Amino acid sequence: MARKRRGQPIHGWLVIDKPLGVTSTQALARARRILDAEKAGHGGTLDPLATGVLPIALGEATKTVAWAMDGAKTYRFRVKWGEETTTEDAEGMVCATSPVRPDEAAIRAAIPAFVGEIEQVPPRYSAIKLDGERAYDLARGGEVFELASRRVRIDALRLVGIPDAEHAEFEVDCGKGTYVRSLARDIGRALGGCAHVVALRRLSVGKFTLESAIPLDDLAAMEQGAAVERHLLPIETALDDIPALALTEQEAQRLRLGQTVALLRRQDRERLDELNQVLTDAGSVALAISGGKPVALVRVEGAEIRPMRVLNI
């Protein structure tokens, strides 16, 4: 008996505005059920207490998730002064207090120290592994441990509001691996007091923004076909920062079969030279296209184009 296929072969990206109180995995599962999609994954976890941009990869787009997760991110977050918590957000127990309530001048003076390449100790309640165990599992079990600091990139940090003496709101543009909860904690300490995150909203992940996002409830209210037609983004959306290489259909077919393409002819030299001008280093990744459609993520090694992820669409 033939095995029944599960779901529809939908390929592309759907940007969800994740609601408060659900995990990224739960939001992914719900979106997949709504669309009846055969295969899905998400491009960057959000905590249950965070809302905002959650890119959902469907079908062959799941092969590009790693590139989406590497993209720069923008968050808006609100901190509460005077308290640190065990989780560094509103879910945890208060573990330290301070009477310090910094004013606007003090906050603005502290911001430059957090821009650029900085050292950051991740939250104890995080998915980082320590001797094979997740940090949050160790923390929940009452284990005593320390996480090593790591270097992260903060491109910009902006004070966007002070609603009252107890709170301040910020926006941050940051690179992969940055923890906003730790950033809030460290800002509080730099100002001589304590702080934790009480609200967190992701505004963008790479090319995925709130402008193209749809709330889960709105998606559920739409007919499946309409939802896909109106909101599905191309697979290559996550790859906008990757150089493109145009191939002939014959060359594209070789890649689809997992074979290397050699650009050795004189007429190939111009294509290769143009590509090498935008590649960052030898062995860099490019997106092979043919007939305006993505074919594969490839590694360029000299005059050879080697397939890394073939996109079967």
Torsion of CA 70, 75, 80, 83, to 10 degrees: 0
What burial letters (b/e) apply to 172-200, b meaning 16+ CB within 10 Å? bbbeeebbbbbbbbbbbebbebbbbbbbb
φ and ψ of 177, to 5 deg: 90, 0
How many other C-beta atoms lie within 10 A of the C-beta of residue 255? 23
Which of 17, 36, 47, 70 is the catalytic position?
47
Our answer to whether residue 131 is catalytic in this structure is no
Q: How far apart are CA 307 and CA 288, in angstroms?
A: 9
Q: What is the maximum span of the chain, computed from C-alpha positions, in angstroms?
A: 72
Torsion of CA 137, 140, 146, 149, to 10 degrees: 70
Beta bridge partners of 16: 54, 214
**Residues taking part in catalysis:** 47
